[in-house]
Each structure stands twice: as structure tokens, then as C-alpha cells.
Copies of this chain bind each other. A is one copy, B any other.
Amino acid sequence: MTIATALDALVPVLGERLSRSKPDLAAHSTSETHFAPIAPDAVAWPTSTDEVSAIMAVCHAHGCPVIGWGAGTSLEGHGLAVNGGLTLNFSRMDAVLEVQPENMIVRVQPGCTREALNLALRDTGLFFPVDPGANASVGGMAATRASGTTAVRYGTMRDNVAALEVVLADGRVIRTGTGARKSASGYDLTALMVGSEGTLGLMTELTLRLHGQPEAISAAVCAFADMTSAVNAVIDTIQIGLPMARIEFLDAATVRAFNAYAGEDMPLRPHLMLEFHGSAAQVASDARTFGEIASDHGALGFRWSDKPEERRALWAMRHNGYYAILQSKPGHRALVTDVCVPIARLGAAVEAAEADIAASPLSGPILGHVGDGNFHAILMVGDDPADLAEAHRLSDLMVRRALDMGGTATGEHGIGMGKLDHMRSEHGDGWDVMADIKRALDPKGLLNPGKLVPGNR
């Protein structure tokens, strides 16, 4: 067998860092969401670019699929070894290699998590802003073009990856991008690799853009009579150009789950949560300005604070929202939708999604990064296969509507296995162009098969 031959050839290279043990395979066969486990044939823990290159050369020679693995926090089954093969766990390549504060960049290995990175940056006056919630690895975040709560101000991984070192399908190592702030030199291979989900190469080093730690942070929270009022407050806030660092929406169902989870008694209404970054005077003024806009839309119980402890308390519902929802249905798993629409269509998109879910037997609290036009319905599915089918029906409805509105099937979670069925409707012949690029860079189809591109199995 070609996979077995490749793995046998890797034993002398990797020693104990190559495992075929059941627990290791099981730990790399799962997903955070609704996908059934699929195990690889082996797991390896490389420690250097040279080693990744050597592994890739062997796997390329023998036709063994290779799947990158960061922190395992993907929601779309990105890490599942659908054709078997070797999963590369990057947790031993997690170093912060070099901080360049004067250039506001950092070189880091892919297994470093965003929390570990920010801990290392603590005393530099700088931070890495992209925050998808989970403590994901920066390699995984780049591979899925992740974003999260701060994208409205600091951008997504597309905007914050300056350069990469990538191991190609045949083991060659390339560097894309530079340490300069811009370049017009050739095809933007950095942008091509960001969001390619491990199907074009394996990132072994990332140069990330850093931002100044804000002098002050204020947080604000309020409830609204209905979702439309909340969303209209968001649109007004964006259109007057108020510089939000975060702006999050939580529907009444999310509040209910949080109250049960945390023993709280928040009003069962849609909420907005905001954060402002700047000087002390500026964030106080921004919070007050938002309070006025919210008030114009009938906001209730407006609160804000610039004190760290109080801010954390105000935002507890957002930080714990997803886990509160998961706990609200023990024994259930989630299918998490991720559409993103042009900002002016956000109200219509969320309203329609709420109506669909209300008419369905499934529960599906909604929360999201409304400053980007991106929201998630957390559709809870039990063991009955009809549940998953119904969740897919609801998800398909939301995607079709988002595409009709000029939006996208996925704002930040990526395609993986979960969104493949929407690629043709979103991209048309552009999906074939993606397949052409895939074949050009990985003609044997060994890099993360079954993800993102058509017929990639």
C-alpha cells in the first residue's frame, strides 16, 4: 500500500514522533461540530521546516495524503482524513521566532496559538488582534482565513498575514510576501495560501502584522425590543463611522441559554455588545455616542464601562455564548451557519433566518459579528438523522438567501467538507479555476483531499 510504504519510510526520520496508536488516531479524527469521526493512518509531530519538507517529499513519492492539524478547532471538518494518510500536528512548531516591534510584525511558527502569541507580546506595547473565539493556532487561522469579533476594526487573516513560508506538495519550500508594508511583485501567493485550507501547501512560518495595544478599552451592552432595532442601530453606527473594535449581536435564544448556563437573569431580548479601543477620552466619548444611537432605536438597560473587571463581566455572555448554547441541549452537536451579507441586507438576512428557525423543530440561537454582516445560527442536532437533514435544509436556505443578496456562504469558517455543496452556486466557473490551481500546485491531490475544490478526493 502506498500509504503504508510512506509511513514505513518515515519511521527512521520521526521515531516516536510518528504514531499509529488508537488514542492518537482518535484524537485526530474528530471535529468540534456535527461531522462523524474519520481517522488518519498515522499522526506525526514535526519540529522543523526541514522535517515537514522531508515528510512531504516522502509522501509525494509514495502518494500518501497529508493533512495539517493546528488546535483542532475547525467547525467545517477541515482536519478529517477522508482518504486516510498522515496528519501533521504542528503543536511542536509553536515558537514565537522574532518580534520586530519597529516594523510592527512578528515571525511565528504555525502551531503557536493566538493566546500564546499575545502572551509573548504582552510587554511590547503591541498585540495580534484577530480573535475567532477559540484559542486556535495561527496556522489554522491563516489556513481558514479566520476572523472573529475584531475584524470590523483590524481586518481578517487576509489583512494580517504579511508573509509565509510554505512547504509545497513535492517538498519544495517557498517564501511568499516580505516584511515591507506593501508589494506589487508578482502574483499574491500569500493571499492565495491564506484560506486555502491546507490544499495548496503547509505553512511552516507566518509573518503577522501587529497593532498597538489600545491605551484604553471601553465596553458597552444594551438590549433591544426586537432584532430589527438592534440591526438598525448597527447600520447607523457603521454609517456615521464610529470606530468600533467589536460589535456583536446575540438573539433572545442565546440570552436564554446564557442565563441557564451562568445563573444570570439577563432580559430575554436581542442584545448588542460593543468594544471601543483608543485614548481614555475617545473610548468614553465613543461609548456615549453609541448610547445615543442605541437610544434612538429604543435600547433598554444601556451599560458601559472602561474598567477591566466590569468589561469582562459585561462581555461574559458573548464569551460564553457558544458553550452555553451547546450545553443547553446535552447530547446534541451543532451545525453552525456562517453567512455574510452586504451590511445593508443584514436585517433582512437575520430576520429571514429567525423566521425559518422559528418554523422548524430545531433550536438555533443566532449570534454574530454584525459589523461585518456576518452571523451564525447554532443549529442543534440530536442523534435522529432527520435532525441533521433539517439543519442542512435550514443552512441551505440561509446560504441561498445570502448569495441572492450578494453575500457569501461563509464569512470566516471556511469550506472544509461542510460547505462544498455551495461552491458551485457561489463561484460558478470560478470553482473550476480553483480546481485548475489545485491541480497545478498539487497534481497528485495529496494535500488535504476532499476539501474546498471539486473532485479533490
Cα–Cα, bound, A427→B429 (Å): 29
CB within 8 Å for A340 and B186 given contacts A102-B239, A441-B436: no
Q: Tell yes or no: A168 within 8 A of B by CB.
A: yes
Contact A433–B441 (Cβ < 8 Å): yes
**Does A174 make an interface contact (CB < 8 A)?**
yes
Q: How far is the CA of A441 from the CA of B182 in the complex (A)?
A: 25
State how many copies of this chain the complex holds.
2
Establish whether residues B342 and A180, one from each chain, have CB atoms under 8 Å apart when the complex forms: yes
A430/B340 contact (C-beta < 8 A), A188-B192, A239-B102, A437-B187 known: no
Q: Would you call B145 and A411 a contact (CB within 8 A)?
A: no
8 Å CB contact of A180 from B146, B172, B195, B374:
B374
Q: Which residues of A contact B (CB under 8 A)?
A: 100, 102-105, 144-147, 151, 156, 158-159, 168, 172-176, 178-189, 191-192, 194-196, 200, 212, 235, 239, 241, 338, 340-344, 372-374, 402, 405-415, 419, 422-423, 426-431, 433-434, 436-437, 439-441, 452-453
A426: nearest chain-B partner, CB-CB: B185
Question: CA A194 – CA B182 in complex, angstroms?
Answer: 13
Q: A176-B427, A185-B408, A189-B427 are in contact. List 16 more A-B contacts (CB 8 A).
A: A104-B343, A144-B184, A151-B181, A159-B159, A168-B429, A178-B342, A179-B405, A184-B408, A184-B415, A185-B426, A185-B427, A186-B415, A186-B423, A186-B426, A188-B188, A191-B191
Q: Which residues of B contact A192 (CB under 8 A)?
A: 187-188, 191-192, 437
The residues of B that contact A188 with a CB separation of less than 8 Å are: 145, 158, 188, 191-192, 194-195
Write the nearest CB–CB distance from A292 to chain B, whole angstroms.
Answer: 17
| Complexed CA–CA distance, A434 and B200 (Å) | 13
Most buried by B among A173, A175, A182, A194: A182
Check A408 against B180 for contact (C-beta < 8 Å): yes
Cα A145 to Cα B191 with chains together (Å): 13
B241→A178 contact, CB < 8 A = no
Q: Top 10 A-B pairs ranked by shortest CB distance?
A: A191-B191, A440-B440, A179-B406, A183-B408, A102-B344, A179-B342, A174-B430, A180-B340, A103-B342, A436-B440
Report the minimum CB–CB distance from A214 to chain B (whole Å): 10
In whole angstroms, what is the CA distance A178 to B241 when docked? 22
Contact at B235–A102, with CB atoms within 8 Å? yes
Whether B100 contacts A186 by the Cβ 8 Å rule is no
Could you pull out 18 A-B pairs where Cβ atoms are within 8 angstroms?
A102-B235, A102-B239, A102-B344, A156-B182, A168-B429, A174-B429, A178-B426, A180-B372, A182-B374, A184-B338, A186-B195, A187-B195, A187-B200, A187-B437, A189-B430, A191-B191, A436-B440, A437-B440
